[in-house]
Structure 1
Amino acid sequence: MTETGSLTCPYNGTPRYPFDGGEPTQYLNEVYFELGPGVWPIWLELAQRPAFLVNGHALLVEVFTRADDFLQPVDPIPGVVPLQGTLLAMHGREHLRVRRPAARPFGRAEVERRRGRVRDLVEARLDGFAGRESFDLVADLATPLTLQVLGEILGVPEADLPLFVGWGDRFLNFSDPLDARAAVQEMCAHIGGLLQARKADPSSDDILSAYAGEQGKDVSTPEAVMVGANIVSGGWETTTTALTSMVLHLLTHGPVPGGTHWDALVADPSLIPGAVQELLRTRPASGDDGPPRIAARDLVLDGVEIPAGSILILGKYGASSDPGVFPEPRTVDFTRENARDHLAFGAGPHICLGKWLAIVILEEALAALLARYPGLRLTGEPIEWRKRSGARRPEQLWLHPA
């Protein structure tokens, strides 16, 4: 195992988690490849307790779909994204009841009808770069674009959107769980005010209006507010991160010496949908593996005994690099036929609500950037990666639009 001394627990020799020590790079850590598919004991460094890593495509799908056996954690766990008070912490009929009013706007057909609006918003953002020598992909395009799209669907005024950036950053800060919870509470209070306004005038066509009206009659106000907070906090940063990581990869890697993947897409834009799926498979967007699970009872998974109450870390990006499902998994191939079988969005009843919207945003943003700036390149500014965060991306990505 690479750098064994820094990766293993001093007590039992198991790998320390997070494997990147809170300082991720754009690449999946070697531990996932070295362990391979299986259920492996690990040590949660920040929580100072043992856990299991579930690594492998079929195993993850099994855990995702066995929601009664592998539960969402009730108590906060240092070092992983907090789930308490979120939609992800619910399961079964309660989860469906609360999620249902938000499901239609994020369905594939509804998102496709919104594609033209997303394209217009991307073009408007790029129009604002006219005459500029450089721009920061994160602050100037990815963050405001994603927030605006989500804000329109949810029903958040555009002027309020910058507030959510600060709340989202605090929510994804692994080093301060108490502040992360405080950020969620502040966000919920703000969304609660918006929801009350919709109840007084539910005529708008947005998700908050759906919860304020007949569709949300079986959902309590705190539950509706929670869904709103989940949509923003769980959607803008992940999509911003994915777009940033994709562009960085395209500009710095290539299928042949001297040629980048960016050049390949400029030459053949029809590859964009496949490129998005393949990069979702190979470019980890999270600083960790996402929400863990808790064993509801004594269980056996892949021949490994899992005691009741054990924490399971679900290696979704390791599963997306499972060589049994994706031959030559480290090779980035935009024509890979089964790239969409990745688990970047999870699986089962808690599959990402905004999956199809994220794909449309990524496709439209890349298409517009490629068409406008075929010669796009990095400015050479130092790239600093976010630390101890749920987002695996550079803090900034400065680009020359020429």
Structure 2
Amino acid sequence: MVKAEAPACPYDGSPRYPFDKGESTAELNPIYFELGPGVWPIWMDLADRPAFLVNGHALLKHVFETPDLFHQPVQPIPGVVPLQGSLLAMQGEDHLRVRRPATRQFTRGAVNTRRERLAGQVAAKLDGLAGQERVDLVADFAIPLTLEVLGETLGVPEEALPLFIGWGDRFLNFADPADARAAVMEMCGYIGGQLVEREQNGTRGDMLSAYIEGRGKEVTRQEAVMVGANVIAGGWETTTTMITAMVYYLLTHPEQWRRLIDEPALIPGAVQELLRTRPASGDDGPPRIAARDTELGGVQIPAGSILILGKYGASADPDVFPAPRDVDFERANADDHFAFGAGPHICLGKWLAVAVLEEVLAALTTRHPDLRLTGDPLQWRKRSGARRPERLWVHLS
């Protein structure tokens, strides 16, 4: 008897996703540059099914801004962050209704009124590290800072913030989806208790209180819990990662570090350019599903197809960003990147994250101009939604 051969993969020869195979580094995978702008067939190894990579700036903007045609997945997809039960999974008026009460805490104006407070929080964290021979910029600085800022925004007591580190790590671990879901449930249980406490004892002007007052009353408690969990889970790790990625880049490019010391007015531009060029995610973020047969970039997309959104590849589109691999702190359109997404699901905490990053770079360049790496070997996070070293050991002076 002749043994039958397994059928060939219909996408033989196509790029295999995730491109880094869970082994992330500081740099964007070169495949985004090799493919260039366009819609490319790929094969999702963990899901064992085909997909399309959307890699061009204009193409991705169209996908972000047409959620009725390219919607969030309803069912979990192996190898990508689960969206089910999150704000990202909601569409249309329901999405606006549930998101609206939270937005007053995250507008550009609201964040600007917190600038002095944010600068003080950064300074206090650095004061607490004074005199230490070496510091892990991740665990000793970035994580406690971002958790404090987000916890204050929501109204979570400071003593409870360490719980969210564990929940966030488990949520971002792609290797154990069951534990990721369990972590979300534990986090939601805690936030639900905080909402009950406000209902019983009065509101406080924080984000959770907004879901008990005014238009927040249109939102169910379960939906309000979901938003609180999304803000913490989606905000602390990404901001921690960007602090780590930016400082690592600057300390390994001392001429750029010196420029910010000598020209602090460049810091806002530097933050935007580093957001464009330093990928914070171990993958490309939440995918989309084609609602019906359509055409995108000259490629026929069948209904039900998975679209992987190459937001960092789009941020390297040479038609929008000339010499895209160059890090230019004076690039006029650096903020056209997609680090925060775009369209109705653009990151709720965009302006808060930018403000934190600006205050961190301002404080470090002013207070610790001789900041330097210790030379300890770096171990990059594996099979995680975060693209950063586990530790970043530095000498503050």
TM-score by length of 2: 0.97
Shift in alpha-carbon separation, 1:301–1:135, aligned structure 2, 3 A:
same
Q: Which residue of 2 aligns with 1:304?
A: 299
Q: Which residue of 1 aligns with 2:4?
A: none
Deviation at 1:212, TM superposition (A): 1.8
- Cα distance in 1 for residues equivalent to 2:214 and 2:55: 43
Deviation at 1:175, TM superposition (A): 1.3
**Does structure 2 retain, via aligned residues, the 8 Å contact 1:199–1:213?**
no
1:344-399 CA deviation, whole Å, 9 max, x = no partner?
00000000000000000000011101111101100011100000000000000000
- Cα distance in 2 for residues equivalent to 1:151 and 1:358: 13
Question: Which letter does structure 1 place at the counterpart of 2:335?
Answer: R
Question: Which letter does structure 2 place at the counterpart of 1:51?
Answer: A
Q: Which residue of 2 aligns with 1:17?
A: 17
**Does structure 2 retain, via aligned residues, the 8 Å contact 1:137–1:399?**
yes
- Answer yes or no: is 1:382 the counterpart of 2:382: no
Deviation at 1:260, TM superposition (A): 2.5
**Does structure 2 retain, via aligned residues, the 8 Å contact 1:202–1:212?**
no
SS state at 1:217 partner: helix
1:353 to 328, 348, 351: 348
1:277 to 269, 272, 277: 272
Superposed, 1:232-251 pairs within 5 Å as 232-251=232-251
2:338 to 338, 343, 367: 343
Uncovered stretches (5+) of structure 2, i.e. residues with no partner = 1-8
Q: Which residue of 2 aligns with 1:204?
A: 204
- Answer yes or no: is 1:47 the counterpart of 2:42: no
More deviation, 241-250/10-19: 10-19
Question: Which letter does structure 2 place at the counterpart of 1:243?
Answer: I
Q: Which residue of 2 aligns with 1:294?
A: 289
1:242-293 CA deviation, whole Å, 9 max, x = no partner?
010000000102xxxxx43111111111110000000000000000000000
Q: Which residue of 2 aligns with 1:252?
A: 252
Superposed, 1:161-176 pairs within 5 Å as 161-176=161-176
Superposed, 1:132-281 pairs within 5 Å as 132-253=132-253, 259-281=254-276
**Does structure 1 retain, via aligned residues, the 8 Å contact 2:136–2:394?**
yes
Question: Which letter does structure 2 place at the counterpart of 1:328?
Answer: A
SS state at 2:104 partner: helix
Deviation at 1:216, TM superposition (A): 1.1
**Does structure 1 retain, via aligned residues, the 8 Å contact 2:275–2:339?**
yes
Superposed, 1:27-176 pairs within 5 Å as 27-176=27-176
1:321-342 CA deviation, whole Å, 9 max, x = no partner?
0000000000000000000100
Q: Which residue of 2 aligns with 1:400?
A: 395
- Cα distance in 2 for residues equivalent to 1:52 and 1:197: 46
- The CA RMSD measured in Å over matched residues stands at 1.1
- Cα distance in 1 for residues equivalent to 2:221 and 2:10: 47
- Answer yes or no: is 1:391 the counterpart of 2:386: yes
**Does structure 1 retain, via aligned residues, the 8 Å contact 2:11–2:41?**
no
- Cα distance in 2 for residues equivalent to 1:179 and 1:298: 35
**Does structure 1 retain, via aligned residues, the 8 Å contact 2:277–2:325?**
yes
TM-score by length of 1: 0.96
Deviation at 1:201, TM superposition (A): 2.2
Deviation at 1:202, TM superposition (A): 2.8
- Deviating above 3 A after TM superposition, structure 1's stretches of 4 or more consecutive aligned residues are none
- Cα distance in 2 for residues equivalent to 1:180 and 1:38: 33
Deviation at 1:10, TM superposition (A): 8.9
**Does structure 2 retain, via aligned residues, the 8 Å contact 1:281–1:342?**
yes
Question: Which letter does structure 2 place at the counterpart of 1:154?
Answer: L
More deviation, 224-233/163-172: 163-172
- Cα distance in 1 for residues equivalent to 2:299 and 2:202: 52
- Cα distance in 2 for residues equivalent to 1:95 and 1:187: 21
Deviation at 1:158, TM superposition (A): 0.5
Uncovered stretches (5+) of structure 1, i.e. residues with no partner = 1-8, 254-258
- Cα distance in 1 for residues equivalent to 2:388 and 2:15: 23
**Does structure 2 retain, via aligned residues, the 8 Å contact 1:316–1:343?**
yes
